[in-house]
Amino acid sequence: MKFYTGNHNFYCGIDLHARKMYVCMLNNSGKIVLHKNIKTDPEIFFELIFPYLEDIVVGVECMFSWYWIADLCHEHHIPFILGHALYMKAVHGGKTKNDKIDSRKIAALIRGGNFPLAYAYPKRMRSTRDLLRRRMHLMRKRAELLAHIHNTNTQYNLPVIGEKIAYKANRKGIAERFQDPSVNKSIQIDLAMIDTYDKLLQDVELYILKHAKAHDANTLYLLQTIPGVGKILALVMLYEIHDIGRFPLVQDFSSYCRLIRPEKESNGKKTGKGNKKIGNPNLKWAICEATIILLRESEQAKKLHQKLIKKNGEGKALGILSNKLGRAMRYSQ
């Protein structure tokens, strides 16, 4: 957990919502100089903080609508910090909770050096990253349709579909396997939706690839030299990491990718494990997928995996190998 420790004359904490935002301003002695509920309007907000622009920092808890205020602060060269939502939940939890109290607590956390930081992704590549995440959502929906076809086939005890129906050429005659008119109609709907998803995915992948080459072609090609990393995994890694320099230590990168097990200790004794959801799930997925492909294609990786299985067991061995691949990726960029 990293905290913001900068010193300023004014500390602005905002409890941000979709249509309203509660703004609290503390001076360097901790006195409230501004505490007001306003609309989420850039002009109103900028006019409100204008008298304090000489030396101010603006802090917001990470939620879905923080983009506009981060871009506004960047445009006017105002220091902006984003609070890690899961860490802040533990830090400023209290018996009574409302927007006014929360904005005061956020400002106090910033002033006291206890504001847990999240990464405020810059505007230049942010929208393409979000589109790539949307592409992953569409791909999972497509996978659900394919799984439904296989499950329905098993449900009616029909012969196993031998070929991979993920490929369009292998989907001919699939609906005709089902004699019941209603079941046949259900499968036809699945197949039609899969065809639609295929067209959408092809279009969005070409669009993202074009923008990725414009954003950082060198890193994109470098990532594809990693064993097990193809076009899609390279795109996910490129946009989810963004700047490898923000991880000064390889341990920081492994933790962000959820490749290590966080442990809790008190009085020299282990008290359990937790915080498994702290980190980037998309990056963890990409590295784990790359590890599976690596084991399929590399004899050297297979030998190392077998050694790790003998020493640590099958489940733990795969996790160790994923961590090794992540560490290698951190050093390669």
pLDDT score for 90: 64
Rounded CA-CA distance 322/264 in Å is 22
Q: What is the pLDDT of residues 275-323, one digit of tens each?
A: 677 889 999 999 999 999 999 988 999 999 999 999 999 889 999 999 9
Q: Which range marks the domain in which residue 251 is found?
A: 239-332
Burial of 168 per CB tally in 10 Å (0-12, 13-18, 19+): exposed
Regarding whether 131 and 114 lie in a shared domain, the answer is: no
Regarding whether 136 and 110 lie in a shared domain, the answer is: no
Task: Report the CATH number that the domain containing residue 78 is assigned in CATH.
Answer: 3.30.420.10
List residues bridging with 158 in a β-sheet. Answer: none
Regarding whether 112 and 8 lie in a shared domain, the answer is: yes
Q: Are 3 and 115 in contact (CB under 8 A)?
A: yes
Q: Which amino acid is at 139?
A: M
Residue 268 lies in a domain: yes
Backbone dihedral angles phi then psi of residue 116, each to the nearest 5 degrees:
-75, 125
Q: For the full predicted model, state whether its pTM sits above 0.75.
A: yes
Structure tokens at 285: 């997925």
Rounded CA-CA distance 174/159 in Å is 11
Regarding whether 108 and 70 lie in a shared domain, the answer is: yes
Q: What is the pLDDT of residues 123-139, one digit of tens each?
A: 999 999 999 999 999 99
Regarding whether 292 and 192 lie in a shared domain, the answer is: no
Average pLDDT for the chain: 92
Residue 28's pLDDT band (boundaries 50, 70, 90)?
very high
pLDDT score for 332: 67
Continuous segment of H or E residues that includes residue 181: helix 181-223
The CA-atom distances, in angstroms, between 120 and each of 1, 25, 73, 278, 333 are 15, 21, 12, 16, 21
Residue 7's pLDDT band (boundaries 50, 70, 90)?
very high
Residue 64 lies in a domain: yes
pLDDT score for 129: 96
Q: Are 109 and 85 in contact (CB under 8 A)?
A: no
Query: Which of 55, 60, 57 lies closest to 40, judged by CA?
Result: 60
Query: Which of 243, 238, 245 lies closest to 211, judged by CA?
Result: 238
Residue 92's pLDDT band (boundaries 50, 70, 90)?
low
- Number of structural domains the chain divides into: 3
Residue 230 lies in a domain: no
Regarding whether 110 and 10 lie in a shared domain, the answer is: yes
Using the 3D structure, point to which of 118, 134, 160 is the last residue of a domain.
118
Buried b (16+ CB within 10 A) or exposed e, 185-213: ebbeebbeebeebeeeeeebbeebeebbe
Regarding whether 255 and 272 lie in a shared domain, the answer is: yes
Q: What is the pLDDT of residues 203-223, one digit of tens each?
A: 999 999 999 999 999 999 999
Structure tokens at 275: 């915080």
Rounded CA-CA distance 256/258 in Å is 5
Residue 225 lies in a domain: no
Regarding whether 12 and 51 lie in a shared domain, the answer is: yes
Mind giving me the DSSP string for 186-232?
HHHHHHHHHHHHHHHHHHHHHHHHHHHHHHHHHHHHHHTTSTT--HH
Residue 86's pLDDT band (boundaries 50, 70, 90)?
confident
Q: Are 101 and 24 in contact (CB under 8 A)?
A: no
Regarding whether 150 and 94 lie in a shared domain, the answer is: no
Regarding whether 130 and 106 lie in a shared domain, the answer is: no
Using the 3D structure, point to which of 82, 101, 118 is the last residue of a domain.
118
Q: SS3 of 93, please?
A: coil
Using the 3D structure, point to which of 99, 118, 137 is the last residue of a domain.
118
Residue 49 lies in a domain: yes
What single-letter DSSP state applies at residue 160?
P
Residue 226 lies in a domain: no
Regarding whether 245 and 196 lie in a shared domain, the answer is: no
Residue 154 lies in a domain: yes
Q: What is the pLDDT of residues 231-262, one digit of tens each?
A: 999 999 999 999 999 999 999 999 999 998 77
Regarding whether 179 and 89 lie in a shared domain, the answer is: no
Residue 234 lies in a domain: no
List residues bridging with 59 in a β-sheet. Answer: 13, 81
